[in-house]
Amino acid sequence: MNGTHLMPEKAQFFTTSARPGNFGDHIDFTATIDNWFDENRIYNEHETDIRRTQIYLLNAVVYGGLLNFARLYAIGFIGRLNGWTRYDRNTYMEVDISGLPPGEVLQVVWNGTPVFVRRLTAQEVHQENHEYPTETILDKAGQVVLSPAGNTQVLVCSAVCTHLGCIPIPYLGTYNGWVCICHGSVYDKFGRVRQGPALQNLPYINNSIYENGTLLCIEALKFPREPSVAYWS
């Protein structure tokens, strides 16, 4: 008591909008700020990782496309260079077939392998394709390739039987083609096997005809898809 006025023993504070009720309470500003930075750092690192991954993927697509384009360009360029030397010149061989009459067979040795050269007339080609039954052809997937030589066609095939490697004899058998006297395999004039035990046709040998059908050039192909005149059974 001081005079007539009563003095409170403890200071009183009144709560207003400017003075909240917890005014003066301890606030850990350091912990709050650290938590804020930690949360944003984690978020920013995650976003950065995503962006980095996107950049890596974009670079992979761009550089991968460029490398693939360069590879295709190199393959095409090298292919054009190889096109100038389409054949293996070490296996090149010229054969004069000017004296080979239609229907006859010439046997030569090319690259250490015996080879049959047979000149066929248009009538023989028609007969082989239309008159003889196709049911007796054992190797139906085999391809027959004939080279045009004037008004005739020339067949160049291996002279080795596809059974066990004997050399068939021409002008024999039902089809007047080849017959292997070792085990009895029969081939027609196109070198297609008609009777076993052989199951494959006589392999085609790549060739070209020049000088109006008088010069036969045999070469090993570097590219097996060389265009030529093909007759399918």
Catalytic residues, by residue number, are 183
Tell me the DSSP string of 115-160: EEEEEE-HHHHHIIIIIS-STT-S-TT--EEEEEETTEEEEEEE-S
Burial level of 127, CB count in 10 A (0-12/13-18/19+)? Answer: middle
Could you give the CA distance from residue 156 to residue 129 in angstroms, rounded to a whole number?
17
Could you give the CA distance from residue 75 to residue 72 in angstroms, rounded to a whole number?
5
Could you give the CA distance from residue 233 to residue 223 in angstroms, rounded to a whole number?
24
Give every strand in the sheet of 113-120, ordered side by side.
105-110, 113-120, 152-158, 144-149, 229-231
Residue 159 token pair = 């002279």
Q: Is residue 93 within a helix (H) or strand (E), and if so which, with residue range?
A: strand 87-96
Tell me the DSSP string of 199-224: -SPPPB--EEEETTTTEEEEEEESST
